[in-house]
Amino acid sequence: MLLLIQYMLIFASILILVALGGCFSEHSGVINLGLEGIMVIGSLGGALAMKYLPLTIPAVPYVLLVILCAIVFGVAYSSLLGVASINFKADQTIVGTALNMLGTAGATVAVKAINTAANPNDVSSIIQYINPKKKFLINMGGFEFNWFMLITLIVLVVAYVVLYKTRFGLRLMACGEHPQAADSVGINVYKYRWAGVLISGAYGGLGGICYILAGVSEWRFEYGAAGFGFLALAVMIFGQWKPHRIALAGLLFGFFRALSNVYFGFPFLVKLNIPGNIYNMMPYIISLIVLALTSSRSRAPKAEGIPYDNGQR
């Protein structure tokens, strides 16, 4: 049971982080379908940090450095979306999809290059982080507390405050709802859309490193993020683009994702003798159902997906 909660919280953390990323981007008016790719690149940044940082660094700065690295990678990578969709008015769906493919392919090429350079016989795309991982965990009586759970909570509160209590949030949301109105009062729509995209890159990168640290102690980069970026988008839609509701949605989805990791710990579930693949499908099936039930009355930012062109004012 404790294990279920532990997994639920860690998966929920990933989903909430990434969904908040999508939330910032969409509130600024840019649909970010490339979150999956951003997660992969973010996790690459974090994994590389864990590979090269000496383990002698104490836990807190170590964790912060790894996270910082993931964020920097995520932000840098999301700028590809920004350039294409904001400055060149490209189709956001195509660019997002390209970023997903580019993320996995790029990370695989990079890790393989690093591995092969170190040892010509090693053509794998795996990075191991058995020892570094321990720095992220605190064992509390059988419950593995992961720093990311706390970070998510903090980041969630920050997101809420930024969106609803600050000038930045007000202007950001105006750009996603009615960019012409924002522009007419002197708000630079391009700037705020860039901010939205880069913040989503930061959140995505954070979610990415959290994702590869969640269960295992090594990561094969060919696997990408297994649709987690898209699950996060489902969480975001279910959460109606509002941080507090995203948190609840994330917990729900996290629960179903956790089931597939721990169902064998529950005798009655084992007795049902359902193939493991069914549990694997669960989060995706649930999200489809949830989307089918909620999408028709969802209220997305009005101007999302529409490139802003100040020549058409």
Partner 1 sequence: MKNKDSKFANIMKTDGMQSLISSLICIVLGLFLGYIVLLFINPTGAFKAITDVMKNFFYYKGSTIRLKYFGNTLVKTAPLLMCALSILFSYKVGLFNIGCSGQYTAGACTALYAALKWNWGWFPCLVLAIAMGALAGTLVGVLKSYCNVNEVISGIMLNWIILYGTNTILTNVKELASPYTLLVKKYSPQSILPSLGLGKLFSNNQYVTIAVPLSILIAVAVMIVLNKTKFGYELKATGFNKNAAKYCGMKEKRNMILSLLISGALAGLGAAFFYLTGYEQWECTTSTVPGMGFNGIAATFLGGLNPIGTIFSSFFIQHITIGGANVDKTMYCSQISDLISALIIYLCGFVLFLKTFMKNVIRKREVKRTGKYENFKQDGR
Partner 2 sequence: MAEQYAIEMLNITKRFPGIIANDNITLQLRRGEIHALLGENGAGKSTLMSVLFGLYQPEEGEIKKDGKVVQIRDPNDANDLGIGMVHQHFKLVECFTVLDNIIMGVEPTKAGFLQKKEARQKVLALSEKYGLKVDPDALVEDITVGMQQRTEILKMLYRENEILIFDEPTAVLTPQEITELMQIMRNLKAEGKSILFISHKLAEIMAVADRCSVLRKGKYIGTVDTDKTSIEELSAMMVGRNVNFHVEKKPAEPGDVILEVDGMTVASKVHKNNAVKNVSLKVHAGEIVCIAGIDGNGQSEFVYGLSGLEPLVSGRILFKGEDVTKASIRQKSVMGFSHIPEDRHKHGLVLDYSLEDNLVLQTYFQPEYTNKFGFLRRDNIRKKADELIEKFDVRSGQGAVTSARSMSGGNQQKAIVARELDKDPELLIAVQPTRGLDVGAIEFIHKQIVAQRDAGKAVLLVSLELDEVLDVSDRILVMYEGEIVGQFDPKKTTQEELGLYMAGAKRMEVQA
Asked whether the beta carbons of 224 and 36 are under 8 A apart, the reply is yes
Q: Is 292 in the site for partner 2 (CB under 8 A)?
A: no
- Residue type at 277 in one-letter notation: N
Pairwise CA distance, residues 36 & 87, whole Å: 22
Question: What does DSSP say about strands 143-146 and 137-140: parallel, antiparallel, or unpaired?
Answer: antiparallel
Q: Is 217 in the site for partner 1 (CB under 8 A)?
A: no
Q: Which stretch binds partner 1 (CB under 8 A): 98-106, 132-140, 161-169, 243-251?
A: 98-106
Pairwise CA distance, residues 114 & 92, whole Å: 32
Asked whether the beta carbons of 181 and 169 are under 8 A apart, the reply is no
Query: Exposed, middle or buried: residue 272 (CB in 10 Å: 0-12, 13-18, 19+)?
Result: exposed
Q: Judged by CB, which is closer to partner 2: 144, or 183?
A: 183
Tell me how far, at minimum, the Cβ of 106 lies from partner 1, in Å.
6
Tell me how far, at minimum, the Cβ of 268 lies from partner 1, in Å.
21
Instruction: Name 164's Cβ contacts closer than 8 Å, sequence gap at least 6.
Output: none
Query: Exposed, middle or buried: residue 104 (CB in 10 Å: 0-12, 13-18, 19+)?
Result: buried
Tell me how far, at minimum, the Cβ of 185 lies from partner 2, in Å.
3
Residue 271 interacts with which of partner 2, partner 1, none, CB < 5 to 8 Å by class:
none
Q: Is 171 in the site for partner 2 (CB under 8 A)?
A: yes
Q: Which stretch binds partner 1 (CB under 8 A): 47-55, 148-156, 168-176, 286-294?
A: 286-294
The encoded tokens of residue 10 equal 């860690």
Site for partner 1, rule CB under 8 A: 33, 80, 84-85, 88-91, 93-95, 97-99, 101-102, 104-106, 108-109, 112-113, 116-117, 120, 123, 125, 222-224, 226-227, 230-231, 233-234, 237, 275, 277-278, 280-281, 284-285, 287-288, 291-293, 295-296, 298
Site for partner 2, rule CB under 8 A: 165-168, 170-171, 173-174, 177-178, 180-187, 299, 302, 310, 313
